[in-house]
Amino acid sequence: MSTLGDMLKYLPPRLAEAIAEECGRLGADDGAGAGQHCFVTELRLRRELPCSLTLSDGRNIPLPISARRSELSAVLARMTENSLHTHAAALRQGYIRLPDGSRVGVCGRAAERSQSGSAVGIGEINSMCIRISHQVCGVSDGIYEHLRSRRFEGGVLFYGPPASGKTTLLRELAFRAASGSQPMRVALIDSRGELGCICDSGGSLGETCGSRAASSSVPFGALIDRYDGYSKADGIAQATRVLSPELIVCDEIGGEEEVRAILETQNTGVPLLASAHAPSYEALLRRPHIRELIENAVFSECVGVCRDDSAPGGLRFTVTDCTGARTDKRTGIRTDRPETYDIGNADINIKSPAARDDAQPGARDGAKKTDCTPEARRERTVRGGFGMPSSGGVHISGAPRRRVR
What is the pLDDT averaged over residues 303-313?
Answer: 86
- In angstroms, the CA 282 to CA 232 distance is 25
CATH number, domain with residue 338: 3.40.50
What is the pLDDT averaged over residues 115-119?
Answer: 65
- Please give the tally of structural domains in the chain: 2
Check whether residue 253 and residue 275 sit in a common domain: yes
- Cβ–Cβ under 8 Å, residues 311 and 346: no
Q: Is residue 320 part of a domain?
A: yes
- In angstroms, the CA 61 to CA 229 distance is 33
Phi, psi of 176 (to 5 degrees): -70, -40
Looking at residue 219, what is its pLDDT?
Answer: 66
Structural domain range at position 169 = 144-396
Check whether residue 157 and residue 124 sit in a common domain: no
- Of 131, 161, 183, the residue at which a domain comes to its end is 131
CATH number, domain with residue 91: 3.30.450
Average pLDDT value over all residues in the chain: 75
Looking at residue 380, what is its pLDDT?
Answer: 32
Q: Which of the residue ranges 42-46, 164-168, 386-390 would you say has the lowest mean pLDDT? A: 386-390
The tens digit of pLDDT for each residue in 235-281 reads 998 999 999 999 999 999 988 888 888 888 777 889 999 999 999 99
Which of the four pLDDT bands, split at 50, 70 and 90, describes residue 382?
Answer: very low
Check whether residue 323 and residue 381 sit in a common domain: yes
Looking at residue 69, what is its pLDDT?
Answer: 93
Q: Is residue 204 part of a domain?
A: yes
The percentage of residues in the chain with a pLDDT greater than 90, rounded to a whole number, is: 32
Check whether residue 278 and residue 161 sit in a common domain: yes
Check whether residue 197 and residue 49 sit in a common domain: no
Check whether residue 193 and residue 321 sit in a common domain: yes
Check whether residue 33 and residue 181 sit in a common domain: no
Q: Is residue 136 part of a domain?
A: no
Check whether residue 174 and residue 240 sit in a common domain: yes
Comparing CA positions, the residue from 256, 31, 10, 277 lying closest to residue 163 is: 277
Check whether residue 70 and residue 14 sit in a common domain: yes
Contacts of 286 (CB under 8 A, 6+ apart): none
Check whether residue 102 and residue 153 sit in a common domain: no
The tens digit of pLDDT for each residue in 122-151 reads 778 999 999 887 767 888 888 998 888 888
